[in-house]
Amino acid sequence: MASGGVLAPIKTRLGDQYALVAGLAAALVVVVFLFAIGQREAIVLGVIAGASYGLLGLGLVLVYKSSGVFNFAQGEFGTVAVFVLYLTTTQGIPYVFAALIALVVAGLLGLLTERAVIRPLASAPRVTLLVATAGVALLCIGLEFWIGRPEPRQVAPALGRTDRVSVFGIFISDQRLLIFAAIAVIAAALAYFFSRTNLGLAVLAASQEPTATNLVGISVARISTLVWVMAAVLGGVAGVLTAPLFGFAPAFLTSTALVPAFTAAVIGGFTSLPGAFLGGVIVGIAQSVASSLDLFEDVPGPQTASLFVLLVLILLVRPQGLLGGK
């Protein structure tokens, strides 16, 4: 965002702007069309679902932006945090402290992952790192099955009231609103971090020129640790906020939200933090429309199918995403 734009030739920047405008216009047309054929509920439900994807997607973007890695363990950072939240709240610890403990544990998990897996593989190909993070995710899943057995559970929401706000006749619970607020705050904070703080610039520098960054006296290794801890805490936030909506089981975030979150990040351009949120909303709307339109009634698994089509289309037509720089 802040980094690429300055150096990019003006022509491509203009081209990107036009593409963005065209994309938003197309989105607007689609939304108006959906309104016209009476799919208002689908839009609202889609935006709500998309917010959870966007929240998980923020962590993916953070790791990609600063180390060029696709982090398949992001969902499991969240699930582990939810397990900790569950164990601590059932022990009678107040919710706020329990949530804090959960986030700290998620951060420690990120620290452990970075030290034990990411750092030894720092010079390995990116695809190897992808497999390694998938290994971390699988290990977490194994531990969760060991501790928790494959049964669904409920965990308390931060805010319990569900009938405060209503849009087009659909009640949006306070927990959902909290997710929106969290996304807005986190995206803004991260955008500020990357564009206005020295540490944020150091993170970007470390991702673009690791050797030179080391030479000017910034420890790339420490930056890497910092980024993974931040990402893990973000994953923890995503888990703790979304788990009360549907209940949770081992691997619930990885199996339900990881691929939509990746798709959201791809749509947003994978380096853009607001893009992750925008992508999440687009994915959410696409999924909910696909499952409610009569046209797709006979297609089994419309949500997964729409996700696959969306991902292939965006990668073929506009691989840099809607808001991503080249």
Partner 1 sequence: MAGVLTRRRKSIDRDEIPPDVIVHDDFRPSTAGWAARFGVLGSVAVLVLWLGPVVLLGGEEWFALSLAAIYAIVGLSLNVLIGYVGTISLGHQAFVGIGAFASAYVVTEMEQPFLVGVALAALIGAFQAMLLGGLALRVTGLYFALITLSYGLFAQDTLFGIQSVTGGGAGREAPLPTGPDNFAPYYFICLAFLAGVLFVDWRMMQTKAGRALLALRENPRVAATFGINVRAYTVLGFGVAGLFAGIGGALLAHLNGFVDSTEFSFQLALVFVLMTVVGGLRNRTGIIIGSAFFALLDLLIRKVPGLEHRLADLDVTIPVVLAVAGLVLAVLGGLGRHWIRAGIGVAIGLVGILILSPMTVPVIENQINEFPILVPETFALVVGPVLLLVTLVMYPGGIGQQIRPIQHWLSGHKFDIHVGGEADVQITDVRA
Footprint of partner 1 on this chain (CB under 8 A)? 68, 70, 83-84, 87, 90-91, 105, 108-109, 111-112, 115-117, 120-128, 130-132, 134-136, 138-139, 141-143, 145-149, 151, 210-211, 214, 225, 255, 259, 262-263, 266, 299-305, 307-308, 311-312, 315-316, 319
Report the residue number, 27 or 117, with the smaller CB distance to partner 1: 117
CB of 63 to partner 1, least distance (A): 12
Q: Do the beta carbons of residue 117 and residue 132 sit within 8 Å?
A: yes
Report the residue number, 176 or 268, with the smaller CB distance to partner 1: 268
CB of 78 to partner 1, least distance (A): 16
Report the residue number, 35 or 246, with the smaller CB distance to partner 1: 246
CB of 126 to partner 1, least distance (A): 5
Q: Do the beta carbons of residue 20 and residue 1 sit within 8 Å?
A: no
237-to-34, 133, 144, 224, 242 alpha-carbon distances in Å: 32, 19, 18, 20, 8
CB of 282 to partner 1, least distance (A): 15
275-to-180, 181, 263 alpha-carbon distances in Å: 14, 16, 11
Report the residue number, 172 or 324, with the smaller CB distance to partner 1: 324
Can you tell me whether residue 48 is helix, strand or coil? helix
Residues 6+ apart with CB under 8 A from 100: none
Q: Do the beta carbons of residue 83 and residue 148 sit within 8 Å?
A: yes
Report the residue number, 177 or 259, with the smaller CB distance to partner 1: 259
* d(C-alpha 326, C-alpha 306), whole Å: 26
CB of 241 to partner 1, least distance (A): 21
Q: List 172's β-bridge partners, or say none.
A: 165
Residues 6+ apart with CB under 8 A from 159: 173, 174, 175, 177, 178
DSSP 227-245: HHHHHHHHHHHHHHHHHHH
Report the residue number, 72 or 277, with the smaller CB distance to partner 1: 72
| Phi, psi torsion values for 99, nearest 5 degrees | -65, -40
Please give the helix or strand (H or E) that residue 170 lies within, else none: strand 170-172
Q: Do the beta carbons of residue 133 and residue 73 sit within 8 Å?
A: yes
Query: Helices (H) and strands (E) in the chain — how many of each?
Result: 14, 2
CB of 293 to partner 1, least distance (A): 15
Report the residue number, 270 or 277, with the smaller CB distance to partner 1: 270
CB of 207 to partner 1, least distance (A): 13
CB of 135 to partner 1, least distance (A): 4
Report the residue number, 123 or 198, with the smaller CB distance to partner 1: 123
Structure tokens at 225: 């640790």
Closest to 119 measured CA to CA, from 61, 194, 69? 69
CB of 204 to partner 1, least distance (A): 18
Report the residue number, 54 or 172, with the smaller CB distance to partner 1: 54
Q: List 171's β-bridge partners, or say none.
A: 166
